[in-house]
Structure 1
Amino acid sequence: MNDEKLKEEVRKACEILKNGGIILYPTDTIWGIGCDATNEVAVKRVYELKLREDSKAMLVLLDDVGKLASYVEVPDVAYELLEVNDKPMTIIYPNAKNLAKNLIAQDQTIGIRITSETFTKALLYRFRKPIVSTSANISGEPSPRCFAEISEVVKAAVDYVVDFRQEETTNPAPSSIIKLDVGGKIQIIRK
């Protein structure tokens, strides 16, 4: 895909997000359903689309480590983990703030992944807010490994389907998940 096409897709997706819409988009792991992570109404729509209880938290994506402190308390060890990490890693941080209340777990934590994937990084840079990222499936169904495996129900329920990387058939690995407490104690949830 050329740069102009990428810019156009980022622009379209950004407009949808700004207006409280939901997008279907490629991430650094699998295809995701996303919305503005600060918009409670948009987050509620994602839970409804997935038929998922809002007590099951979803993660958010950011494009830069420097933005973390705006949304969570960042134990020092998090910066060290992110520095040495070489594959997608979601860290569950304590004391979430400045996000939609229905996105934050009951224990006030939130999972955040810093993306380096081309499309999401460009979208996050332009949108300037975190974006929800949850697998592109109805809760309880298998996560699609590529765009072709996403159900028509999900495709029809979103406001915009990003036209980027749809032809890929690779099976990306899910991110590792690590939970940190305020003191920096590490708990590995998924390797």
Structure 2
Amino acid sequence: MEIIKIYELNDDKRKEVINNIKKEILRGKIIICGTDTVYGISANALDENAVKRVYEIKKRDFNKPMSICLRDINEIEKYAHINDLAKKLFSLLPGPLTIVLKKKPIIPDIVAKEYIGIRVPDENIMRELCVVPLTTTSANISGNEPAYKVEDIDNEVLEKVDYIIDIGECKYKKPSTVVRVLDNNIELLREGAIPFNKILKIIKQG
């Protein structure tokens, strides 16, 4: 594994490194990168073998779905079914919100079977790396505490990935808020960096 302190690089070098990592992701490599909320383990979500490696590194139950990370909100409709209620939530993106929607068949069942959590994080480096949808699952052994900086990540996890992109400390230092959109209803699955009351106000204003 290689640790890259991305914040120490000048613009040209950073662009070169990011382009290289994107090629490596397409080859099935596994990375750890900071997001706006926590450090996550990412791989090409459309590559079932790469996704399997992520489950194995985390020691995660294969029946537990993973979320995906996208570059921007314009890509969401390619991977999930959206409606007017979901579109109202897009005003919070990029940001520390995971929106769970009914997935489209392009997302392999190993990632999620019926519904897929979607993130567009408020972290430029992570979004730049999204040459394809990336798995976004915390960089820890399942059940352990999430990491907000590289130094917090278990060595057992670090040693099994291919690249580690160190962005410094995560902006929010708190997991994302997770909501599920079911028809015209919204369900809170986890309250995190965005208070649920704020989400409800946005829906009512819409």
- Same fold? TM cut 0.5: yes
Match of 2:108 in 1: 100
Give the whole-Å Cα distance in 2 for the aligned partners of 1:86 and 1:65. Answer: 8
**How far is the alpha carbon of 1:31 from its aligned partner?**
0.7
**How far is the alpha carbon of 1:170 from its aligned partner?**
6.5
**Contact 2:94-2:122 at 8 Å conserved across structures:** no
The number of residue pairs the alignment matches comes to 183
Match of 2:177 in 1: 176
Give deviations 1:96-139, integer Å, cap 9, x for gaps: 3311220013xx00100112311012112xx1x21101100011
Task: Please point out which of 164, 167, 170 is paired with 1:165.
Answer: 167
Tell me, which stretches of 5 or more residues in structure 2 are unaligned?
A: 1-6, 192-206
Residues 26-175 of structure 1 correspond to what in structure 2 (within 5 A)?
26-84=34-92, 87-105=95-113, 108-124=114-130, 127=131, 129-162=132-165, 164-166=166-168, 168=169, 172-175=173-176
Give the whole-Å Cα distance in 1 for the aligned partners of 2:160 and 2:149. Answer: 18
Q: Secondary structure at the match of 2:159?
A: helix
Residue 28 to residue 61, structure 1, CA distance change in 2 (3 Å): same
Amino acid paired to 1:123: L
Residue 155 to residue 86, structure 1, CA distance change in 2 (3 Å): closer
Give the whole-Å Cα distance in 2 for the aligned partners of 1:148 and 1:17. Answer: 23
Give the whole-Å Cα distance in 1 for the aligned partners of 2:170 and 2:72. Answer: 28
Over the matched positions of the two proteins, sequence identity in percent amounts to 32
Give the whole-Å Cα distance in 1 for the aligned partners of 2:99 and 2:127. Answer: 18
**How far is the alpha carbon of 1:86 from its aligned partner?**
7.7
Residue 149 to residue 65, structure 1, CA distance change in 2 (3 Å): same
TM-score (norm 2): 0.82
Q: Secondary structure at the match of 1:157?
A: coil
TM-score (norm 1): 0.88
Give deviations 1:152-186, integer Å, cap 9, x for gaps: 11111001112x324x37761211100011x2310
Give the whole-Å Cα distance in 2 for the aligned partners of 1:53 and 1:151. Answer: 18
**Contact 2:94-2:120 at 8 Å conserved across structures:** no
Give the whole-Å Cα distance in 2 for the aligned partners of 1:169 and 1:62. Answer: 18
Q: Secondary structure at the match of 2:25?
A: helix
Tell me, which stretches of 5 or more residues in structure 1 are unaligned?
A: none
Supply the RMSD in Å over aligned alpha carbons: 1.8
**Contact 1:49-1:154 at 8 Å conserved across structures:** yes
Give the whole-Å Cα distance in 2 for the aligned partners of 1:171 and 1:123. Answer: 20
Give the whole-Å Cα distance in 2 for the aligned partners of 1:180 and 1:169. Answer: 27
